[in-house]
Amino acid sequence: MKLGSFKNSAPEYVVKGNNKMLLGDFKGAILEYTKAIMIDPQFPYSYTSRGAAKMELHDYDGVIQDCLQALRLHFSAEVESEKKAALKGFKKTIAPNPAYSKIYSMIGIAKLLLGNREEALLDLNSARLLGNDDAYDIMKTYSKY
């Protein structure tokens, strides 16, 4: 293999981005996650991770946009899996993905910080229903006002 011809995979760029997040280099993390998206735009974890980095930089609209794309990709993968199971004569139920809870929580928090309280509470409730107890605590705090 020639030097410089090695191309990282999307998951490898996500790991690089995660390492930058740990170091507090949120702009660098966004760059790595964006590289992952450029390599594989169908890899939902790139969007979720980039949304988390954008949260740290207070880009709340960007958080919502990336998280919604991650949800679309997660959901379409599960629908495809269900279709394949149905073709084989099996009934597969779409089970909640633990990643959904995190994504809905991030969307809800971003909407709260943008001042969209009602929609935020709906997203946080979705996160709660998917098992995120922290989302319930946030909802209790903001539903009082």
pLDDT for the residue 18: 98
pLDDT at site 89: 65
User: In this structure, are 23 and 82 located in the same domain?
Assistant: yes
Same domain, 15 and 62: yes
- Give me the pLDDT at residue 2, please: 42
CA distance 101 to 4: 39
- Secondary structure class of 133 (helix, strand, coil): helix
**Distances, alpha carbon 115 to alpha carbons 28, 120, 143, in Å:** 28, 9, 13
pLDDT of residue 103: 94
Residues 75, 117 within the same domain: no
Given a contact cutoff of 8 angstroms between Cβ atoms, the answer to whether 40 and 46 are in contact is: yes
Domain check: are 29 and 87 in the same one?
Answer: yes
In a domain, 3, yes or no: no
pLDDT score at 49: 97
**Vertex 20, ends 36 and 115: CA angle to 5°?**
85
User: Within this chain, do residues 77 and 143 fall inside the same structural domain, yes or no?
Assistant: no
Residue 21 lies in a domain: yes
> What is the domain-level CATH number for residue 86?
1.25.40.10
State the Cα–Cα distance between residues 18 and 72, nearest whole angstrom.
22
Query: Of 93, 110, 135, which residue sits at a domain end?
Result: 93
Q: How many helices (H) and strands (E) does the chain have?
A: 7, 0
Q: Which residues lie below 8 Å from residue 52, measured CB to CB, with a gap of 6+?
A: 21, 63, 106
Q: Say whether both 78 and 140 belong to one domain.
A: no
Dihedral of the CA atoms 134, 109, 36, 17 (nearest 10)?
Answer: -70
The answer to whether 138 touches 124, Cβ cutoff 8 Å, is: yes
C-beta of residue 85 within 8 angstroms of C-beta of residue 107:
no
- 141: containing domain: 96-145
Last residue of a domain, one of 93, 118, 134: 93
The answer on 133 and 68 residing in a single domain is no
Do 104 and 64 belong together in one domain?
Answer: no
Q: What is the residue-level pLDDT of the chain in tens, covering all 145 positions?
A: 343 434 789 999 999 999 999 999 999 999 999 999 999 999 999 999 999 999 999 999 999 999 999 999 987 766 566 556 656 666 555 455 577 889 999 999 999 999 999 999 999 998 888 888 888 888 888 876 5
Instruction: Quote the pLDDT of residue 3.
Output: 39
**Of the residues 93, 114, 135, the one at which a domain ends:** 93
